[in-house]
Amino acid sequence: MKTSSEDITQLLRAWNAGDESALEKVTPLVYRELYRLAGHYMGREREGHTLQATALVNEAYLRLIEWKNVKWQNRGHFFGVCAQLMRRILVDYARSRRYAKRGGGIASVSLEDAAPAAEDRFGVLMEIDLALQRLSVIDARLTQVVELRYFGGLSVEETAEVLKVSPITVIRQWNFARAWLLRELAGTTKQ
């Protein structure tokens, strides 16, 4: 796929400004990565494709653009938008998957436990998104850390670089945001 760095930058800017077409263009890339990872988890990928918690922004987006040739004016902003985009795509995906499972009549002879687990997991991602919306009301910087780390897949160091804070600060903010979100999730599932 040939997409120039200008195109991507413009796409991201446009999306940030409310143009949904950027979403349509980036979504297939994210899906491709998603299915590759799913293949790995299903044991269909040979060893060698090691699975790390790599920065997805690097994997899915920077693969497209001539990253090294680009001097980003605002690298942090770029990553921030990527992570938001990622969040939106994954949460939408989880939502559609969930509805498809409910409405779609997949006839299958159940030879063992049906898999409520998977449906619940998609639901969990939606809950995380909602909890993050609540967090954003009270603390924007924690929300940003979660978006970059969890949805953008950035490492502590990368997140620190983007936010221009120390890695220790990122770790502390992430620890706290994580516990806060987990508590929110526990609250919603118990009711």
Partner 1 sequence: MTPESLEQIEIIYNDALALPPHERPAFLDRVCGNDPNLRAEIESLLVCEQQASTCLDKPAIHFVAESLASEGAGVLVGKMLGRYQLLSLVGRGGMGDVYCAVDTHLNRLVAVKILPAYLAEDPARLRRFTEEARVIAALNHPRICVLHDVGHDDGIHYLVFEYLIGELLSDHLSGRSLPVPEALKYAIEIAEALEYAHEQGVVHHDLKPRNIMLTRTGAKLLDFGIAELRYPGEAGVTDSQTRSGTLPYMAPEQIEGQQTDLRTDIFAFGVVTCEMITGRPVFPGLAVQAHMVMPPAFDVVIRGCLARDPPERWQSMSDVLLILRRIAAGI
Residues making contact with partner 1 (CB under 8 A): 30, 33-35, 37-47, 51, 53, 56, 86-87, 90, 93-94, 97, 101, 108-115, 117-119, 121-122, 124-125, 128, 138-139, 142, 149-153, 172-173, 175-176, 178-183, 185-186
Closest contact distance (angstroms) between CB of 181 and partner 1 is 6
Which CB sits closer to partner 1, 86 or 163? 86
CA torsion 11-12-13-16 (nearest 10°) is 120
Nearer to partner 1, 22 or 125 (CB): 125
Report the 10 Å Cβ neighbour count for 148. 29
- For residue 18, the minimal CB distance to partner 1 (Å) is 23
Residue 65 tokens, joined: 């653009």
Nearer to partner 1, 74 or 100 (CB): 100
Going from the C-alpha of 81 to that of each of 97, 105, 119, 120, 185, the distances in angstroms are 24, 37, 28, 28, 25
CB of 28 to partner 1, least distance (A): 14
Q: Which residues contact 110 (CB under 8 A, 6 or more apart)?
A: none
Minimum CB distance to partner 1, residue 83 (Å): 10
